[in-house]
Amino acid sequence: MNQLPVISGPEGFATMFNVSRETLQQLKHYVELLRTWQKAVNLVAPSTLDEVWHRHVGDSAQIVDILRESDSSKKSGIWLDIGSGGGFPGLVAAIMLSHDFDYQFHLVESNGRKCAFLADVVRHLGLSVEIHNERSENYARDTQDKQFSIVSARAVTSLDRLLALSEPFLSGEAVAYFFKGRDITLEIEQADQDWTFKRRQFSSCTSTDGCILEIKNLMRKGI
């Protein structure tokens, strides 16, 4: 099995993802805030905190590389991040895309304390990001007039459940990016029972078991 490179800190991250000095400074500030808030709010698994640049920031940043390399990706629109938690991948994408893309980021998170953290990061970094302290099902009822471009989710739930949560937002040319793990084959088989969708699968550069699943043209079977 090939050994993946380890992102040991901000310098390694900058090398792998070729970010500007300004972007790296913002990401470092974000990580500092996360470490501070982690003492009171469980934002990431404690066992992964020392590997935050690899396990969380680097892992999330892959979605930006996928977008930049895609011939069909738009450079503007509304980006919805479901179950944002500590801001992965939504806040990482918002920071990395703030200069060359023009997305309106909306982060949906049902945990009020995590939303307070997200809002603190947004305030400190001056990001154009809206935080919504509610479940995605409730958010969907309030945003029926919005046309979303991108929907993202990381470590939220199974694929079939994610598709159900994302269905209200994936109309037209909207694209979903879901971070999945070693059970992806089984999850796709289960999702295929109730859904039709076009998909592409990108191997993770931070985990041998991980991948990012791109979903388009989602439709529920039997409709």
The H-assigned helical ranges of 39-127 are 52, 59-69, 90-96, 112-125
Decide if pLDDT at 1 tops 50: no
pLDDT in tens, 61-82: 999 999 988 766 667 899 999 9
Order of all β-strands in the sheet with 195-203: 129-132, 102-108, 76-82, 150-154, 175-180, 211-220, 195-203
Of the two residues 155 and 195, the one the predictor is more confident about is 195
| Rg of the chain over all Cα atoms, to the nearest angstrom | 17
Residues 78-114 have pLDDT tens digits of 999 999 999 999 999 999 998 878 899 999 999 999 9
CATH superfamily assigned to domain 10-220: Vaccinia Virus protein VP39 (3.40.50.150)
Determine the pLDDT at residue 3.
Answer: 73
pLDDT category, 188, cuts 50, 70, 90? very high
Average pLDDT, rounded, for the chain = 92
Domain boundary assignment for the chain: 10-220
pLDDT bracket for residue 60 (50, 70, 90)? very high
Token duo for residue 5: 């490179």
In three-state secondary structure terms, 2 is: coil
Quick one: average pLDDT of 175-192? Answer: 94
DSSP-derived letter for residue 193 is T
State what percent of residues in the chain have pLDDT above 90. Answer: 81
Which residue is associated with the tokens 């300004």? Answer: 22
DSSP symbols for 119-181: HHHHHHHT--EEEE-S-HHHHHHH-TT---SEEEEESSS-HHHHHHHHGGG--TT-EEEEEE-
Question: Who contacts 221 (Cβ-Cβ below 8 Å, separation ≥6)?
Answer: 193, 194, 195, 196
Mean pLDDT within 23-28: 97
